[in-house]
Amino acid sequence: MSREKLLTYLQQFVSNDRIKLINEKIEHRTRYITLLVENIYQSHNASAILRTSDCFGVQDVYIVEKNNRFSANEEVALGAQQWLTVKTYPSSEGNTRQAIEELKQKGYRVVATALHKNAQPLENFDFKKGKVAFMLGTELTGLTEEALSLADEYVIIPMRGFTQSLNVSVAAGILLHFSTWRVLNSDIPWSLSEEEKLELKIQWLKKSIRHGDLIEQRYLSQFNASSQPR
Domain range annotation of the chain: 3-23+193-222, 30-184
Nearest to 53 by CA among 153, 139, 140, 180: 180
pLDDT at residue 30 in the model: 97
pLDDT at residue 228 in the model: 56
CATH T-level fold of 30-184 = Alpha/beta knot (3.40.1280)
Q: Which residues contact 43 (CB under 8 A, 6 or more apart)?
A: 71, 72, 73, 76
pLDDT at residue 212 in the model: 83
pLDDT at residue 136 in the model: 94
Buried b (16+ CB within 10 A) or exposed e, 156-192: ebeeeeeeeebebbebbbebbebbbebbbeeebebbb
Helices first, then strands: H and E counts in the chain? 9, 7
For the entire predicted model, the pTM comes to 0.89
If you write DSSP's letter for every residue of 130-183 in order, what string do you get? S-EEEEE-BTTTBS-HHHHHH-SEEEE----SS-----HHHHHHHHHHHHHHHH
Nearest to 179 by CA among 227, 141, 212, 131: 131
Mean pLDDT by 10 residues, the chain (230 residues): 87 95 96 94 86 95 86 60 91 93 97 86 94 90 91 91 83 95 95 96 93 85 63
pLDDT at residue 223 in the model: 65
